[in-house]
């Protein structure tokens, strides 16, 4: 889908013509009629699966069987892993303080879904940029590793704080993607990057789920912005499960006491200097 030219509010102020200010290609709603990407919504509700409908919303066209299988694989791959993901902890903290509705806690969890908590957006940006260089796979991998080690000291999409040898979700996603012919240029480049980094470090740093998701979704033709959102939404059901459990079975207003690792590292107790005390006269 071609990207339309960037608009800015100044052009509308200057021209005085605001007729196209609010424009969307996603849907059209009129009295008694809704069309999504041109299709009557009744047909989509009746005939499409959720994965197909989501793909249509994001990409503008219906997926074929291969794309449907791969997109469904991406959406279900996150699942959950206890409290390792900070997004789950953020969601549960909010749920413990606001048990009236799951929505604020769900928003908290989504807001905590960033590069540190495993978003596939940054790995996708790396892979899409590198594939665009047009070099050999091995040369591209070497250049990408050098670029990202210099840029931020780590290569996105590789390594995990707990899964040091293999990341089970990433391994399975990659294997199934290969079976569905979905591990293409971006996936193969990620494999080459993993090999190159292992040579440099003298040990293997495995592909993590964010890397595998970024590669798979890039090979499906999604752009990094959409890939970051898909990664957060794919974990959304796990967040909702944590939130409901927290509200039903958790501890209202969760805290972090010393016994659970809270540690004060500031100055010892001290008195405010006399010259900073307010006179009571």
Q: Within a domain: residue 230?
A: yes
Using CA atoms of 95, 100, 105, 106 in order, give the dihedral in degrees to the nearest 10: 130
Q: Is 56 in the same domain as 125?
A: no
Q: Is 57 in the same domain as 126?
A: no
Token pair recorded at residue 68: 């449907």
Q: Is 138 in the same domain as 57?
A: no
Q: Which of 179, 221, 168 is nearest to 58 (CA)?
A: 221
Check if the beta carbon of residue 157 is closer than 8 Å to that of residue 190.
Answer: yes
Number of separate domains in the chain: 2
Domain boundary among 63, 79, 112: 63
Instruction: Using the predicted structure, report yes or no on whether residue 83 has a pLDDT greater than 60.
Output: yes
Q: Within a domain: residue 177?
A: yes
- Which residues are 27's β-sheet partners? 36
- What residue ranges in the chain does DSSP mark as E strands? 27-30, 33-36, 39-40
| Whole-number percent of the chain with pLDDT over 90 | 84
Q: pLDDT, tens digit, for every residue of 43-63?
A: 999 999 999 999 999 999 999
Whole-number pLDDT of residue 1: 56
Block residue for tokens 């047009």: 134
CA atoms of 175 and 194, how far apart (whole Å): 16
CA atoms of 182 and 69, how far apart (whole Å): 9
Q: pLDDT, tens digit, for every residue of 224-273?
A: 999 999 999 999 999 999 999 999 998 899 999 999 999 999 999 999 99
Q: Within a domain: residue 130?
A: yes
Q: Within a domain: residue 77?
A: no
Instruction: Using the predicted structure, report yes or no on whether residue 115 has a pLDDT greater than 80.
Output: no
Q: Within a domain: residue 223?
A: yes
| Whole-number percent of the chain with pLDDT over 70 | 99
- Domain limits at 45? 33-63
Q: In this structure, what DSSP letter does residue 161 have?
A: S
Whole-number pLDDT of residue 80: 87
Check if the beta carbon of residue 112 is closer than 8 Å to that of residue 87.
Answer: yes
Q: Within a domain: residue 110?
A: no
Q: Within a domain: residue 70?
A: no
Q: What are phi and psi of 17, to 5 degrees?
A: -100, 105
Q: Is 44 in the same domain as 144?
A: no
What CATH number did the domain enclosing 224 receive?
1.10.230.10
Q: Is 58 in the same domain as 129?
A: no
Q: Is 55 in the same domain as 126?
A: no
Residue 61 to residues 52, 57, 181, 229, 232: CA-CA distances in angstroms? 9, 8, 20, 19, 22
* Residue 182 binned pLDDT confidence (cut-offs 50, 70, 90): very high
């Amino acid at each position: 889908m071609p990207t339309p030219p960037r608009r800015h509010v100044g052009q509308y102020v200057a021209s005085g013509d605001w007729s196209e200010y609010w424009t969307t290609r996603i849907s059209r709603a009129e009295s008694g009629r809704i069309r999504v990407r041109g299709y009557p919504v009744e047909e989509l509700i009746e005939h499409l699966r959720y994965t197909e409908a989501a793909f249509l919303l994001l990409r503008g066209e219906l997926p074929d069987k291969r794309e449907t299988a791969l997109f469904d694989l991406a959406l279900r791959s996150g699942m959950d892993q206890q409290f390792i993901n900070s997004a789950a902890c953020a969601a549960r903290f909010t749920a413990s303080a606001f048990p009236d509705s799951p929505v604020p806690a769900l928003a908290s969890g989504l807001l905590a879904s960033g590069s540190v908590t495993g978003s596939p957006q940054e790995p996708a940006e790396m892979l899409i940029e590198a594939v665009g260089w047009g070099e050999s796979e091995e040369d591209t991998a070497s250049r990408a590793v050098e670029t990202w080690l210099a840029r931020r000291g780590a290569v996105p999409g590789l390594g995990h704080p707990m899964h040091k040898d293999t990341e089970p979700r990433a391994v399975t996603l990659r294997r199934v993607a290969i079976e569905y012919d979905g591990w293409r240029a971006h996936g193969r480049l990620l494999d080459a990057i993993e090999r190159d980094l292992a040579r440099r470090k003298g040990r293997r740093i495995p592909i993590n789920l964010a890397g595998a998701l970024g590669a798979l979704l890039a090979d499906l033709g999604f752009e990094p912005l959409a890939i970051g959102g898909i990664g957060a939404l794919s974990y959304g059901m796990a967040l909702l499960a944590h939130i409901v459990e927290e509200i039903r079975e958790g501890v209202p207003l969760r805290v972090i006491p010393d016994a659970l690792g809270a540690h004060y590292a500031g100055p010892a107790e001290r008195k405010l200097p006399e010259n900073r005390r307010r006179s009571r006269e």
